[in-house]
Structure 1
Amino acid sequence: MNKRILFLTILCLILTGCWDRNELNELAITMALGIDKVDDEYVVSAQTVIPGEVSSMKGGPGESPVTLFQAKGATVNDAIRNLAKLSPRTGYFGHLQIVVIGETLAQEGISNTLDYLSRYFEIRSDFYLLIAKETEAGKILNVQTVLERIPANTIFNILHTSQHRMSNTSAVTLSKLIVDLEREGKEGVITGIYIMGDEESGSSKQNVESITPTTQLKMDGIAVFKEDKLVGWLTDEEGIAYNIITNQVKNTLGTLSCPEGGKVTINVDKLTSKLKNTIVDGKPEIKIDIQIFGNIGEIDCEIDVTKKETVKMLEKTYEEQVEKNVNETIQVVQDDFQSDIFGFGAAIHQSNPKEWKKIKSQWGTEFSEIKTTVKVKVNIRHFGTVNNPIQENIKD
């Protein structure tokens, strides 16, 4: 009897299949979602792959490999479910790369949207979030792009390129944003995306057939949040300062003015930043220690980089420039937004929990008044294969 039961159990395990399995040709694979709020209704835009167009090499450049489905609903969940009324295939979000949130919705608050996205079983939390700057998310996803056949891939690659090459944006996943919003003493940020050119022309096939597209997508600024609401934007320079303070710089570029006119560029290939909390006269203070390592990139003036004093002068100039940018950015965020996007409060909480308990209830006010000290050390290590500018060696 026991053998028979064991045999039947094993047989059931072997013969069991996936009851909810879907074949690939039954799925509508969504690569990017746009979420807007218009007239008290949510509008969800799903950029969905057309498998035949992606796999086929015969299609011309004007034949888009994606389509955009849009549906409305009282909630995000309702709107996503209503997409099923438009698509002949089952929506699949397992390969979602990008979610764009409209600026109007971001200003109202995104906690409900984030909560739904984090709960939806099919969506992984490693996709990237963006804010549609001065437009709707659906219009962002409706722009046809060159180089990459799938616009979601273009957006993904632009975000990573700007983050790793210039450090003026911040690549934020759903999981990272939720951690920041729930963490004591730290607010969230999301990179903005902007339509350059005519919005209407961006959706036409002519936009990808031209050598110079009339409409392009551009990463533009960093959205500052207080709790779950968008309260303002950082410029590109302020975005670099934000990444410096939060120790997220991979590479960036510094442009310096020469004493007698012209410019020198510094290619930064390593940067570390540390926050230290101290208590002075019963008040918390933040010290920011920044170390920068870089190389001379372009020299557009007459200077001799073989001389130690020249290198020291460039290092000091860049130190002063970075210190000024960081201090001014902190001041802007303290005065205009009162939002601790830098994590000063989190640093106090970690290093001095007792002090944090005293001030956390009024941290918004405390953050706006906290004193910060910035110290920058620059080390220029390499000068390229040519020590002096070629223009100095050209004979009249």
Structure 2
Amino acid sequence: MKQTIHLLIVWGLIALLLGGCWDRTELNELGIAIGIGVDMEGDQYEVTAQVVIPSAVASKSSPSAGSPVVTYQATAPTIHEAIQKMTDTSPRSIYLSHIRMLILGEEYAKKGISDVIEALMREPFTRSDFYIAIAKKSKASTILKIPTPLEKLPANKMFASLDTLTKTWAPATKVTMDQLLSDLANPDIQSTLPALEAVGDTEASNEKGIDDTKSISPGTILRFSGIGVLKKDRLLGWINEQDSKGFNYIRDEVDSTMGHIDCQGGGNIALLTLNSDTQKKVIVRDGEPVISISVTNDSTVREVNCQHMKLSSMADIKEIEAASNEKIVEIMKHSVETVRRDFEADIFGFGQLIHQSKPGLWKRLKEEKENPFMDLQIEYKAKTKIKKIGSLFESFQKQMKE
């Protein structure tokens, strides 16, 4: 009898643990947010949510079904209050598990972004694999209201554009919540975020809505243009596309990119980087650290506008490789010089590298210098290997002129 009672108690306790659906919410009760924007309105947070309209993105929906997304906006003393407050206008509660983009307004980013990072990390339903960007010269709410062609969902378009851009062109960088949180918590490196800019008449695009994407040339387009430099959690300013590419070379974040070299007799040659690898190490010379940066590139010739260049000549191929090496070193040097001059912020992780490989030396440097990054000696090397020269062996333009 006692054994039966014990079994009933055990099974009763197990039954309590299996009640996993006590807080369930049906799918048709949720507003699935794919983009979140944060701005400041006075001393309060202005939060914008880009929410999917399921009926407009269904596979059988007609092209004239209307906008596939709607934006809701609310202002409150805290971020989560603002999100909850959106139910004033939204018939569904805002669900954050499928966020693709977090957009931060420029003015908000200048005041510090750590509060929104902490707020979203505390949210149990939010994943950390979305990308974060700063709205350059704009508010986040403006960016999230701009319709986009090709991709029905604007936040998905931003996510895909940044993903493709970093893999094929490298003038920006993609940053997830985990990476940003790690950088903000690390005193030996300063954070960066990609700049997202609205180019065109944003007001007209907002008025036209989805109709603006039906034009061959939309009134407003969204583009990632350079990188925002942060010190601690505050935006200091921007570096342009060329310096951003130098930053990506140093951080070993270039997968593939396109560039050109100038020819001595005029003209230029376009080179496609097939893959790139950057190695960094610390060398101690006379008791002082020296950062050695070595970039190895495999490239292919994509365009030849130099009449004197013969791709059948090994000497000319070596000349192209040497010119490419010079160009890569120049790009990296200019990026470091720009950041030193304008921001005095180590976004490249040199301090972190010294700390990891030579902790005693880094401790001494920190005690002796307020900002060791400013006069740190850096040596640059690049090695380009031309793997292919394209479908044509020699340029037919030379034969035309002859």
TM-score between both structures, scaled by the size of structure 1: 0.96
Q: 1:365 aligns with which of 367, 371, 385?
A: 371
- Report how far residue 301 of structure 1 moved: 2.6
2:389 equivalent in structure 1: 383
- Report how far residue 56 of structure 1 moved: 5.5
Q: 2:358 aligns with which of 352, 358, 367?
A: 352
> AA paired with 1:287?
S
1:237 equivalent in structure 2: 242
Shift of the 103–364 alpha-carbon distance from structure 1 to 2, 3 Å rule, reads farther
Gaps of 5+ in 1: none
2:263 equivalent in structure 1: 258
1:74 equivalent in structure 2: 77
1:392 equivalent in structure 2: 398
1:306 equivalent in structure 2: 312
Does the 8 A contact of 1:338 with 1:364 survive in 2?
A: no
Distance in 1, matches of 2:33 and 2:369, equals 41
2:323 equivalent in structure 1: 317
Larger deviation, residues 56-65 vs 106-115:
56-65
Q: 1:295 aligns with which of 296, 300, 303?
A: 300
- Report how far residue 6 of structure 1 moved: 2.6
Does the 8 A contact of 1:187 with 1:343 survive in 2?
A: yes
- Report how far residue 13 of structure 1 moved: 5.6
Does the 8 A contact of 1:61 with 1:209 survive in 2?
A: no
Q: What secondary structure, in the 3-state scheme, does the structure 2 residue paired with 1:205 have?
A: helix
Distance in 2, matches of 1:291 and 1:224, equals 26
Gaps of 5+ in 2: none
Aligned CA RMSD, in angstroms, stands at 1.8
> AA paired with 2:285?
V
Are 1:327 and 2:333 matched, yes or no?
Answer: yes
1:94 equivalent in structure 2: 97
Q: 1:29 aligns with which of 23, 29, 32?
A: 32
Distance in 1, matches of 2:61 and 2:304, equals 47
Distance in 2, matches of 1:363 and 1:84, equals 52
Distance in 1, matches of 2:102 and 2:38, equals 8
- Report how far residue 280 of structure 1 moved: 2.7
> AA paired with 2:24?
R
1:183 equivalent in structure 2: 186
Does the 8 A contact of 1:202 with 1:216 survive in 2?
A: no
Are 1:342 and 2:342 matched, yes or no?
Answer: no
1:54 equivalent in structure 2: 57
- Report how far residue 210 of structure 1 moved: 0.7
Does the 8 A contact of 1:199 with 1:215 survive in 2?
A: yes
> AA paired with 1:341?
I
1:270 equivalent in structure 2: 275
Shift of the 334–362 alpha-carbon distance from structure 1 to 2, 3 Å rule, reads farther
Does the 8 A contact of 2:276 with 2:298 survive in 1?
A: yes
Distance in 2, matches of 1:315 and 1:127, equals 38
Q: 1:63 aligns with which of 44, 57, 66?
A: 66
Q: What secondary structure, in the 3-state scheme, does the structure 1 residue paired with 2:371 have?
A: helix
Does the 8 A contact of 2:146 with 2:202 survive in 1?
A: yes
> AA paired with 1:153?
N
Q: 1:212 aligns with which of 212, 217, 228?
A: 217
Q: What secondary structure, in the 3-state scheme, does the structure 1 residue paired with 2:124 have?
A: coil
Larger deviation, residues 386-395 vs 257-266:
386-395
- Report how far residue 393 of structure 1 moved: 4.3
- Report how far residue 364 of structure 1 moved: 5.2
Larger deviation, residues 106-115 vs 277-286:
277-286
